[in-house]
């Protein structure tokens, strides 16, 4: 029964082969087996290749089956139409379609298998390339955001420096009126005289200005920090959105 099936695959006339020797039937059965298993391998290879593309077993099997049947029919037709010729050239021309088909089948079968065999190496190379692209992508996006963020950080530093300078001035005024009261500087008179009162007034005014400056700059710093946080969020989203696939 298997022999009959393979003879059918070879495209030979089974009724004629019934009258032939067992050796002749085996020859055509072998040809049919070659045609059949070539189609099976084409089906497997095409199904795997399509599965890597569509990631769907059903779709890959359907199209793989169509490809396998196509190869089976083409191969069967070519084999069944090859006849014995008187010259090698004529036989070669006759076999050319079979050779071309064999090359196509070999490529279709070998490429998916090659991809599967070297899957780890391929994935490693792809991962390295993806990492390189990711880093390059981050650097490119950072060029857009980093100068802005650095500028805002400089603004924060300037506001803090302004507070520090005002604080130093206020502390200096504090030391001035304290030493005036102690008689260790200024008029060198111990006690709280008019000069002390004047210096104390300057300190109190500076202290009030310092408090107002701290409040105002604190609000400004908070606003700038909000801007920086927003820019960082935008940067992270831009990196994610532009990630290489």
Report the interhelical angle of 88-117 vs 119-182 (nearest 10°).
Answer: 30
**What is the per-residue pLDDT across 65-89, written as a single tens digit (0 to 9) for each?**
998 888 888 878 777 776 666 667 7
Greatest mean pLDDT among 136-150, 199-213, 214-228: 214-228
pLDDT given at position 30:
87
What's the confidence (pLDDT) of residue 186? 63
Q: Which two tokens stand for residue 204?
A: 């109190």
Instruction: Supply 138's token pair.
Output: 């981050």
What is the reported pTM?
0.48
Residues 25-68 have pLDDT tens digits of 788 888 888 888 888 888 888 888 788 778 888 888 999 899 88
List strand residue ranges (DSSP E) for 38-188, in order: none
| Residue 29 tokens, joined | 């059965």
CA distance 6 to 27: 10
The structure tokens listed for 83 are: 């006849």
Look at residue 97 in the predicted model and tell me its pLDDT. Answer: 75
Token pair, residue 193, equals 């005289």
Contact 224, 155 (CB under 8 A): yes
Q: What is the tens place of the pLDDT at every residue in 136-195?
A: 777 787 788 888 888 889 999 999 999 999 889 888 877 787 776 766 766 666 666 677
Please list the helix, strand and coil fractions of the chain in percent, rounded to the nearest 5, in that order.
Answer: 85, 0, 15
Asked whether the beta carbons of 45 and 68 are under 8 A apart, the reply is no
What is the three-class DSSP state of 192?
Answer: coil
The overall average pLDDT reported for the chain is 81
Closest by CA to 35, choosing from 12, 60, 1, 62, is 12
CA distance 239 to 233: 10
């Amino acid at each position: 029964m298997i022999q009959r099936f393979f003879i059918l695959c070879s495209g030979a006339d089974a009724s004629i082969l019934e009258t032939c020797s067992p050796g002749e039937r085996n020859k055509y059965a072998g040809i049919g087996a070659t045609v059949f298993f070539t189609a099976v391998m084409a089906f497997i290879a095409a199904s795997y290749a399509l599965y890597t593309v569509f990631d769907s077993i059903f779709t890959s099997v359907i199209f793989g089956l169509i490809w396998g049947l196509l190869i089976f029919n083409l191969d069967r037709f070519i084999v069944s139409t090859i006849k014995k010729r008187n010259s090698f050239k004529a036989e070669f021309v006759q076999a050319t379609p079979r050779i071309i088909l064999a090359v196509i089948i070999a490529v279709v079968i070998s490429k998916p298998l090659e991809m599967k065999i070297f899957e780890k190496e391929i994935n490693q190379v792809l991962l390295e390339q993806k990492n390189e692209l990711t880093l390059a992508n981050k650097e490119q996006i950072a060029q857009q955001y980093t100068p802005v963020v650095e500028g805002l950080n400089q603004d924060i530093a300037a506001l803090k420096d302004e507070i520090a300078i005002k604080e130093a001035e206020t502390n200096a005024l504090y030391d001035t009126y304290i030493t005036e009261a102690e008689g260790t500087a200024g008029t060198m008179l111990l006690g709280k005289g008019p000069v002390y009162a004047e210096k104390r007034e300057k300190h109190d005014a500076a202290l009030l200005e310092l408090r107002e400056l701290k409040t105002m700059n604190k609000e400004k710093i908070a606003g700038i920090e909000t801007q920086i946080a927003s820019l960082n969020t935008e940067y992270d989203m831009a990196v994610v959105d532009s990630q290489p696939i």
